[in-house]
Amino acid sequence: MWMEEGLPDFFDIFSWKLVLIVLAAFIIRAWLKGTQFKEKVTAKALVAVVTGANAGIGKQIVRELNLRGAKVYMLCRDKQRGLQGAAELVHLGCNSSRLIVKEMDLTRFASVRQCAKEIQQEEKKIDILINNAAVMLYPKFKLTEDGHETTWQTNYLGHFLLTELLLPLLKAAPSARIVNVSALAHFYSEPIDVSTVDRRERWDARQAYARSKLAQVMHARELTRRLRRDEASSVTINACHPGLCYTRIMRHTPLAITPLKYLAAPFAWYLLKTPKDGSQTPICVAISNKLNGVSGKYYSDCQEKACAEMAMDDDVCQTLYNSSLEACGLGEWDTVSDARED
Ligand SMILES: NC(=O)c1ccc[n+]([C@@H]2O[C@H](COP(=O)([O-])OP(=O)(O)OC[C@H]3O[C@@H](n4cnc5c(N)ncnc54)[C@H](OP(=O)(O)O)[C@@H]3O)[C@@H](O)[C@H]2O)c1
Ligand SMILES: *[C@@H]1O[C@H](CO)[C@@H](O)[C@H](O)[C@H]1NC(C)=O
Ligand SMILES: *[C@@H]1O[C@H](CO)[C@@H](O)[C@H](O)[C@H]1NC(C)=O
Ligand SMILES: *[C@@H]1O[C@H](CO)[C@@H](O)[C@H](O)[C@H]1NC(C)=O
């Protein structure tokens, strides 16, 4: 008997509690997803270049830029995976005549040069360059064919070379923007000592990642300084943190190992951003009208944030820049602009 009386009560309490819990879960989830970029700004007639474009955050960046009217070059390590990514984007409503897949492996300077050369032959200007590709916690110390540590070359040096090679095209656009997808992890980097980055001794996967991401922020600041010296140039360069996203970047971590993968999946799905959420800040930095002329800054959640203290030392940024030019086989800056077009 008591059951019949107790039942409605129980459900009454249960249901409003349930409603509250569900509501709270939605609010927390919305907060975790972070700021979404909603500005009505077109990308019509713009030419964009995105690295690591076949998956994760890069693919979502390509999608948004294409939907807003841009012609997008998708630079991918593997042509086949690139074409597959493009086909998926077309399926999601992108315009295929404005999606161009190019092969570019950042761990091979020759491949970066070849790719930059092809783009130079096809385009007169580039409005947006997004350096997004990366490996994280690559498990072993390995030198590339160019003699550099793999994470350092993939995340930093390869992009450094690409940026330098595309600079003439970027300068040819009315107001070009370079966006580097860095990471919060750059805060955890030790000071960069270029004389030891390519050495096996004391190599550490976490430091290798943090360091490459710190170098990106430093590059933004030094390149800004250099571009500002050149008054005719209207190229801007900013770095950003996309937020923690559920993508394949975890592939080299224990979280990708089978039993753990399935256990962690529901938590990751709830707690981490989607790749689309992660693409919001890079897109904002690439096209928002609010950032006209802004350069050398670091963004997170579509807002300017302070970057690591270490990236604020101009001398250190300059030293890194000089040694990176050398590491990529490029000459002095002021004389290099013609030489690097070959
Ligand atoms: N996910 C996060 O939580 C998070 C947090 C902070 C920062 N970020 C940054 O966000 C960016 C995008 O990460 P994501 O999460 O989208 O990662 P992802 O899903 O692993 O995508 C990385 C992309 O980079 C490409 N790539 C890797 N090595 C390459 C190489 N040698 N040459 C050319 N392309 C290469 C990959 O190509 P393949 O498909 O061929 O491997 C892939 O397209 C990265 O810069 C990362 O540091 C991510
Ligand atoms: C795709 O974009 C091109 C160039 O902007 C345009 O001419 C064409 O009509 C678009 N195609 C579709 C199906 O919207
Ligand atoms: C972007 O990264 C490239 C290479 O990692 C570097 O040359 C450039 O200065 C960086 N720019 C920003 C804004 O971090
Ligand atoms: C970097 O190279 C430039 C040009 O050669 C030079 O003027 C500058 O002093 C160098 N900076 C550092 C910190 O080595």
180 ligand 1 Cβ < 6 A: no
Indicate whether 341 pLDDT > 50: no
- Residue 19: the pLDDT is 87
- For 223, the token pair is 């390149």
227-252 mean pLDDT:
83
Q: What is the mean pLDDT of residues 277-298?
A: 92
> Of residues 14 and 279, which shows the higher confidence score?
279
For residue 186, the CA-to-ligand 2 centroid distance in Å is: 40
- Strand blocks (E) in 206-267: 236-241
Residue closest by Cα to atom 12 of ligand 2: 95
Query: So what's the pLDDT on residue 73?
Result: 97
Nearest CA to ligand 4 atom 14: 319
The encoded tokens of residue 187 equal 């805060």
The widest CA-to-CA distance across the chain, in whole angstroms, is 93
Residue 54: what pLDDT?
95
Nearest-atom number in ligand 1 for the CA of 105 is: 32
Which residue is listed with tokens 């590491």?
327
Query: Is residue 97 lining ligand 2, measured as CB closer than 6 Å?
Result: yes
Beta bridge partners of 100: 73
Nearest ligand atom owner, CA of 223 = 3
pLDDT number for residue 13: 64
Ligand 3 pocket by C-beta < 6 Å: which residues? 131, 156, 159-160, 163, 178, 180, 216-217, 219-220, 223, 237-239
User: How many A from CA of 57 to the centre of ligand 2?
Assistant: 24
In angstroms, how far is CA 2 from the centroid of its own chain? Answer: 61
For residue 130 and ligand 1, the question of a CB distance below 6 A is answered with no
251-268 mean pLDDT: 79
For ligand 1, atom 19, which residue shows the shortest CA distance?
A: 56
Q: What is the pLDDT of residue 11?
A: 60
Beta bridge partners of 236: 177
- List residues bridging with 71 in a β-sheet: 47
What DSSP designation does 143 have? B
Give the pLDDT confidence score for residue 342 in this predicted structure. Answer: 38
298, 306 Cβ separation under 8 angstroms: yes
Strands in 298-300's sheet, in edge-to-edge order, are 99-103, 71-76, 47-51, 128-131, 177-181, 236-241, 298-300, 303-305
At 179-229, the pLDDT tens digits run 867 777 777 788 888 888 888 888 888 889 899 988 988 887 888 888 888
Q: Which ligand is nearest to the CA of 109?
A: 1
Assess whether pLDDT exceeds 80 at residue 332.
no
pLDDT value for 140? 87
Task: Count the residues in the chain.
Answer: 342
Ligand 2 mutation pick, 42, 98, 99, 100, max ligand atoms within 8 A of CB: 98
pLDDT > 90? residue 91: yes
Taken in order 185, 187, 191, 194, the sign of the CA dihedral is positive
Residue 80, Cβ density class (10 Å: 0-12 exposed, 13-18 middle, ≥19 buried): exposed
Cα 162 to Cα 5: distance, rounded to the nearest angstrom: 73
φ, ψ for residue 303, nearest 5 deg: -130, 150
Instruction: Judge contact between 241 and 311, C-beta under 8 A.
Output: no
Question: Residue 54 burial by CB count (10 A; 0-12/13-18/19+): exposed, middle or buried?
Answer: buried
**Whole-number pLDDT of residue 200:** 87
Neighbouring C-alpha atoms within 13 Å toward the C-beta of 15: 6
What residues contact residue 30 under an 8 Å CB cut-off, 6+ apart? none
pLDDT at 335: 41
Query: Rounded CA gap, 218 and 141, in Å?
Result: 24
Mean pLDDT of 253-275: 81
Residue range 119-151, pLDDT digits in tens: 999 999 999 999 999 888 888 899 999 999 999
What percent of the chain is predicted at pLDDT more than 90?
46
| Pocket perturbation via mutation, ligand 1, pick of 50, 112, 150, 249 by most ligand atoms within 8 A of CB | 249
Domains of the chain, CATH where assigned: 45-244+278-292+300-340 (3.40.50.720)
Q: From the CA of 323, how far away is ligand 3's center (Å)? A: 14
Please tell me the pTM assigned to this model: 0.87
* Average pLDDT taken over every residue of the chain: 87
Residue 336 banded pLDDT, cuts 50, 70, 90: very low
